[in-house]
Amino acid sequence: MQNELKATLNLIKEDKVVFKMALLIAVLTLVLLVSASTSPAIALSLNHYEKTCPDVESIVAKAVERATMKDKTVPAALLRMHFHDCFIRGCDASVLLYSKGNNKAEKDGPANLSLHGFYVIENTKKEVEAACPGVVSCADILAFAARDAVVLSGGPTWEVPKGRKDGRTSKASETIQLPAPTFNISQLQQSFSQRGLSMDDLVALSGGHTIGFSHCSSFQNRIRNFNATHDIDPTMPPSFAASLRNVCPIKNKAKTAGATMDPSSTAFDNTYFKLILQGKTLFSSDQALLTNPKTKGLVYKFASSKQSFEKAFVNSMIKMSSLNGGQEIRKDCRVVN
């Protein structure tokens, strides 16, 4: 009987040790997971340049404003550039790197060939370097510029979290990860969720389409040979489709041809959402927002309230722009140190 009791006690002791080890492993795993998932957000702060480069945001804002006075398409270009940067390897300014040798960079990937305005960030970086050498990342400058672009277009302002690092890797092949204008709702949801962004973020950030211009190639699929049954996307009003077909003839020799995202293409407003409800947006991915109850409800909400849209957009921009995986502060935005 005593031997059996001793054996039982030994088993309990062993179980306790195993349990403690399992608990310790579980806790360590959780710590690692939490630190891995939240470290980019923790690394950023609102006062990051308070002592090292206090005037940086003013320098960037003035540079973006000067560029916009010369070219009204600059704000939309900078906002789109920031989005395209953040969706590949996080907001690390990898989209600004130039192709070198055998490496074809992101900016030369098919999805990014229509990006423009790189000179604005490059010139602004030179001004910032003159004031605070080696302190401010290109990724932060692009994040400031995207915010300033929205403000200059009549949209909301917000405090940009700071402290991003610039990445050393940029591959054109990775731009296939960008959400395409032909995406359906499930493809959009997957693309955003892979980056920790919700359905709310998807609809709010899609509102960035309220400013800018699109080339015919991005919506050609909706106005000709849509599917086996319809030549034109049936969700598109015939008169709107006809106007786009006029802008984009079959033999479209002018690759610059296209249409503005909405009639008030330089004003950051909620017109985009009103157009979705009328079927008058350019992309399949825009109209796809009506094919899911959650996103459809948000479209109606933002169409009826500019204030609701702006609040959601700001929250989602801060969330998206906090994705960061860079390693250095680049001296020149076009090349790694």
Rg (CA), the chain: 24
Q: Which two structure tokens, joined as six digits, stand for 302? A: 């933002």
Task: Set out the domains of the chain in order of their start, with CATH numbers.
Answer: 55-177 (1.10.520.10), 185-320 (1.10.420.10)
106 is in an annotated binding site: yes
Predicted confidence at residue 254, as pLDDT, reads 57
User: pLDDT class for 324, splitting at 50, 70, 90?
Assistant: confident
Predicted confidence at residue 189, as pLDDT, reads 97
Task: For the chain, give the number of residues.
Answer: 337
Predicted confidence at residue 32, as pLDDT, reads 37
262 is in an annotated binding site: yes
CA 191/CA 30 separation, integer angstroms: 25
71 is in an annotated binding site: no
- 67-123 pLDDT, tens per residue? 999 999 999 999 999 999 999 999 999 999 999 999 999 999 999 999 999 999 999
Q: Which two structure tokens, joined as six digits, stand for 219? A: 């919506």
User: Left, alpha or beta for 91 (phi > 0: left; psi -120 to 50: alpha)?
Assistant: beta
Residues contacting residue 185 through CB under 8 Å, at least 6 positions apart: 288, 289, 291, 292, 295
- Does residue 131 or residue 11 have the better pLDDT? 131
Q: Which two structure tokens, joined as six digits, stand for 199? A: 């359905």
Residues contacting residue 157 through CB under 8 Å, at least 6 positions apart: 147, 150, 151
Query: φ, ψ for residue 218 (rounded to 5)?
Result: -80, -20
215 belongs to the catalytic site: no
Which one from 82, 84, 215, 230 is the annotated catalytic residue?
A: 84
Instruction: Compute CA distances 256 → 48, 161, 247, 248, whole Å.
Output: 41, 36, 11, 10
Identify residue 313 by its one-letter amino acid code.
F
CA 146/CA 85 separation, integer angstroms: 11
Q: Which helix (H) or strand (E) holds 215?
A: strand 213-215
Predicted confidence at residue 34, as pLDDT, reads 36
75 is in an annotated binding site: no
Neighbours of 224 (CB within 10 A): 14
Output the average pLDDT for the chain: 88
On the 0-12 / 13-18 / 19+ scale of CB atoms within 10 A, 245 is middle
Predicted confidence at residue 45, as pLDDT, reads 93
**Cβ distance 248 to 196 under 8 Å?**
no
- 218-239 pLDDT, tens per residue? 999 999 998 999 999 999 999 9
